[in-house]
Structure 1
Amino acid sequence: MNVSQTMETEEDLLTRLRVQLYHPQQSCKGLFGLLPLGTKSKHSADEPLRLGRDVQSCTFALVDARVSRRQLALHAYRTPQSPDLLFAIQNLSQRGRLSVNSSALGYLERMDLPDKALVRFGEYEMLIFRESGEAKGSFEVEFEVLPVSPSRETCMYVPSMSPVMETGSPVINSLPGELRVGLLGPLETDETLMYNS
């Protein structure tokens, strides 16, 4: 195989990280003013991508004094078992915790980033999607701002959010009481009532 066949070309499809951001005060504070919103930016896979408030040491910066100078880093890597470019996330903040899909990361702790992840730190929520590509030496990042919290939005799309009573079925719970008794058999009783009567 000659060198020209192994080099990355402009036509290679880059792996893309789509990062959707949300903060409760985003509309009045300009927190995302330093981010390249709505545009794709290309990055070398051998350099970690850092996010924080320090413009000098971070690849991307947030305009918020409550964010750590260096909040988090995304590291690209590959494994012998997979041709895809994968990512790990690392918490760089000594004073704040970071969670990935509700798994907490302490200072300098790192974990593999799934193809879709909800990352939280402070009041920030980031929904990160990884879209596979062919290129090995670089990837692209695209930022956008979400109008509503991604955690709230995912709850709204859960098919059965109606309260489930002791029967475990929202369908049976919507039936009149006399019909439920016949379908369910004996109703549960409160044990304290049995002892007090």
Structure 2
Amino acid sequence: MSMSQTMETEEDLLTCLHIKFYHPLQISKDLYGLLPVGTRRRHSADDPVRLGRDTQSCSYSLVDPRVSRKQLALIAYRLPQNPDLLFSIQNLSQRGRLCVNSSALGFLERMDLPDKALIRFGEYEMLILRESGEAKASFEVDFDVLAVPPSRETCSCGPVSTPVMDTGLMNHITAEIRGLGPQETDETLICHS
């Protein structure tokens, strides 16, 4: 093959990470003023995307003193015989935990990101959706702001998934258990006779 056939071209479809933010105070404060909301940005796959408060060491910054200087990193990688560009997430904060779906990550711990992930740190919620592409050397990042917490629209227990319809079965079981009476007592209560 010639060099021009193996090089990535402008026509190659880039993998895109759609990152959607929510914070309860986002309306009253300009927390996302430094993020390119609504604009896709291209990144080299060999350079981690860092998010935090520090504009010098992070690719993207949040205007919030409660966010760590370096909060998290998104690292692109590929597996042998797999054409997809995949991502892992790493907690860069020494003072705060990072939750990915239902798993907590401590300082410098990392895990693979599923195609759809709910990330939590502090009061922030991020919904990250990976859209596959063909290009191997670069990817895009697309930021958006959500009006409601993504955890409200997805199942907050376990992996992020579509909501499950309530059939009422659990309510029936709960009512039966309630009818049995209390199963334990509070030993700190003092009885006066």
Scaled to the shorter chain, the TM-score interval is 0.7 to 0.9
- Structure (1 or 2) with the larger CA radius of gyration: 1
Provide the identity percentage: 68
Deviations 1:90-115 (A, max 9, x none): 00000000010010000000000000
Q: How many matched pairs?
A: 176
Tell me which residue corresponds to 1:103.
103
Tell me which residue corresponds to 1:134.
134
Work out whether 1:160 is the aligned partner of 2:183: no
Q: Please give the secondary structure, in 1, of the residue aligned with 2:171.
A: coil
Amino acid in structure 1 at the alignment position of 2:170: V
Q: Structure 1 150/163 Cα, relative in aligned 2: closer, same or farther at 3 Å?
A: farther
Tell me which residue corresponds to 2:189.
none
Distance 2:19 2:61 in 1: 14
Distance 2:67 2:98 in 1: 11
TM-superposed deviation, 1:154: 2.0
Amino acid in structure 2 at the alignment position of 1:131: E
What are structure 1's unaligned runs of at least 5 residues?
A: 174-183, 193-197
Please report the TM-score for the alignment, with normalisation by the length of structure 1: 0.83
Tell me which residue corresponds to 1:178.
none
Distance 1:113 1:51 in 2: 16
Deviations 1:152-195 (A, max 9, x none): 12259431185823537xxxx8xxxxxxxxxx9xxx74597xxx
TM-superposed deviation, 1:2: 0.8
Distance 1:49 1:38 in 2: 17
Tell me which residue corresponds to 2:4.
4
TM-superposed deviation, 1:82: 1.3
Please report the TM-score for the alignment, with normalisation by the length of structure 2: 0.85
Q: Please give the secondary structure, in 1, of the residue aligned with 2:152.
A: helix
Tell me which residue corresponds to 1:29.
29
Q: How does 1:12-91 map to 2 (within 5 A)?
A: 12-91=12-91
Amino acid in structure 2 at the alignment position of 1:113: L
More helix by share: 1
Distance 1:32 1:161 in 2: 40
Q: Please give the secondary structure, in 2, of the residue aligned with 1:31.
A: coil
Amino acid in structure 2 at the alignment position of 1:83: P
What are structure 2's unaligned runs of at least 5 residues?
A: 156-161, 184-193
Q: Give the CA RMSD over aligned residues.
A: 2.3
Q: Please give the secondary structure, in 2, of the residue aligned with 1:90.
A: strand
Q: Structure 1 58/164 Cα, relative in aligned 2: closer, same or farther at 3 Å?
A: same
Distance 2:71 2:182 in 1: 51
Q: Please give the secondary structure, in 2, of the residue aligned with 1:143.
A: strand
Moved more, 157-166 or 76-85: 157-166
Tell me which residue corresponds to 2:92.
92
